[in-house]
Amino acid sequence: MGQGVSGVMADEMTILPGMEELFSLLRIKRYKASGLYDVLVLDTAPTGETLRLLSLPDTLAWGMKAVKNVTKYIIKPLSKPLSKMSDKIAFYIPPADAVDSVDQVFDELVDIREILTDNNKSTVRLVMNAEKMSIKETMRALTYLNLYGFKVDMVLVNRLLDTRENSGYLEKWKTIQQKYLGEIEEGFSPLPVKKLRMYEKEIVGLQSLELFAKDMYGDTDPSDMMYDEPPIKFIRNGNVYEVQLKLMFANPVDIDVWVTGDELYIHIANQRKIITLPISLTGLEPGEAFFKNKWLHIPFDLNQHDQNHQRKDYDKVLN
């Protein structure tokens, strides 16, 4: 946040929930703006913390937008008149630098979200073990990442026992891994699934990392997109406009969809995505959402505009 926010103000803001993670994300923007790096790699924590971190711009932006609107349309217009009426009222009105700091944080969030969801430059690669719980967690992660607009272009299955060698005590575990590996390749298709063996020692040091990278990517460029398909699409067929989200493992029972103004809300379990709709869809109610080939389709009938205009003209005639 560093630039533009005073030291005291920055210290106070770090107390707010999510601010520590936000400052971590701000480093991404700073490194990208410097132009000193070819690729930035964000090595995140296990699934829950990763989702919290990557969804932070969306989560905080909604609250920041509300604060910003209250400040712009209520606090600023009323602050000076009310301050003149009573010194006590002035005590409760935030100073200008505090208001400016909220605006700055909001702008930073918008920039971070654009960087992370730029499907041409940013991608997520999921790492899992061939174990039941790990597979379930990765399925959940993929669903939520796609919900928030992050492109996932590869899945890596780690720590696989070599099928060509006798693993002794772990021989039965090898059979279990191969069973789950088949489920992973089928379930996560068409995403490419790469596999890495269990190494004899911990991957530490440049030599071990070079071997690790060679096994994973071979002679290909790791920075290339392994699979190129955006997780959110806007498709028009005639007078029907569809918002499509790739939610491979979502349970339709857990999904709620509604529209408020020009914003489309998609709620899955404890995660919520807000999509700003094109102007042509503002004021329209979504039709019945349905799943097809792992995609959630949310249709909007553009004929509703004509019906709404006819209803308004009819109401004018009556009045």
Average pLDDT over residues 48-66: 67
Q: What is the mean pLDDT of the chain?
A: 81
Tokens of 115: 């960087």
Average pLDDT over residues 186-211: 92
H or E stretch covering 232:
strand 232-237
Q: Which CATH number does the domain 232-318 belong to among 3.90.1150.10, 2.60.40.790, 3.30.70.240, 2.60.40.10?
A: 2.60.40.790
**DSSP three-state, residue 194:** strand
Are the CB atoms for 175 and 84 separated by under 8 Å?
no
Query: Which residues on adjacent β-strands are paired with residue 240?
Result: 237, 301
The predicted pLDDT at position 316 comes to 47
Q: Which CATH number does the domain 125-217 belong to among 3.40.50.11540, 1.10.645.10, 3.40.50.300, 3.30.465.10?
A: 3.40.50.300
Of 279, 283, 282, 286, nearest in space to 301 by CA: 286
Average pLDDT over residues 9-36: 70
Query: CA dist 125 to 22, 63, 64, 198, 299, Å?
Result: 21, 29, 29, 19, 30
Percent of the chain with pLDDT over 90: 40
Tokens of 311: 């209803």
Which stretch of 44-53, 122-131, 174-183, 210-219 has the lowest confidence by average pLDDT?
44-53
Residue 238: left (phi > 0), alpha (psi -120 to 50), or beta?
A: left
Positive or negative: CA dihedral 112, 116, 118, 122: positive
Residue 6 has pLDDT above 60, yes or no: no
Which stretch of 60-64, 174-178, 228-232 has the lowest confidence by average pLDDT?
60-64
Of 308, 286, 282, 290, nearest in space to 240 by CA: 286
Task: Give residue 88's pLDDT band: very low, low, confident or very high (50, 70, 90).
Answer: low
H or E stretch covering 76:
helix 76-85
Residues 125-143 pLDDT 10s: 999 999 999 999 899 889 9
Residues sharing a CB contact under 8 Å with residue 70, sequence separation 6 or more, in sequence order: none
Which stretch of 3-7, 117-121, 127-131, 280-284 has the lowest confidence by average pLDDT?
3-7
Tokens of 208: 């071990």
